[in-house]
Structure 1
């Protein structure tokens, strides 16, 4: 079929009077997710190695490590440390691990990989960096890890999506605590 010259030129097929152009998305691709029920965040897709959803019993607890770390996960032969992103950013409650699966976003930079356990993954979205604002009312524990926030208006409500700096998260001294 591909070798058929009519396939490439479109002859022999009915074509509408107008060719529909594909719209090119504006901005960059980001993964959006919730840490708590109302707090939405985003990470650049370029910094994400993979998204993993496993039952909590697949995360092996490790004694004498930072309380921010839930344990390790073996993913395709590679050991990935899994962190409670909410606790890392200063939320007072630990992640609810009493659930069928925990979404983990594996971020990587220069060979260092870390899994960030989150509450819920929303999906990917094209977001424009030009519309990124300085973060407002950001807790001090979270501020060093944010690049800014988008305010997205839906009908009469506004949703704030905070952009995380995955490199700052990976290089944080908090992991040694």
Structure 2
């Protein structure tokens, strides 16, 4: 079956990023036992990732690269936040390199990596860990099926090969 919007897609992938020495390193994988399953065309995935898959069908393999711009954006030197130490009262101060779960005033969740800890604040880099990096995806389409009306209403895949509600 061909991938179309409002279809549930299960696929394997290996994600590679470029290393300083010119080689590629595998940073993430989804296997046939633990595939990535998502509702296509609702904005769950990177738009260019979906665009590259849009002509494929079940059992097709794929191999494509996304530029940093089409993936998680260029690394933004300005995307740092100074979190006042008061925020961490009663908790241990995070160490440099720690990933902090954060939330903005609109309730969006995101992560920041601690760059330094000063006397009065914790400085956090808000760039996505893969910002500034081209992403190289290789994998295989395992299954494509029309989404159920319930899945469409919820905006994500359900069932044994989908999203579980806890």
* Bigger radius of gyration: 1
Higher RCO (Cα < 8 Å, 6 or more apart) = 2
Same fold (TM over 0.5): no
Structure with greater helix share of residues:
1
Q: What TM-score results when the alignment is normalised by the length of structure 1?
A: 0.27
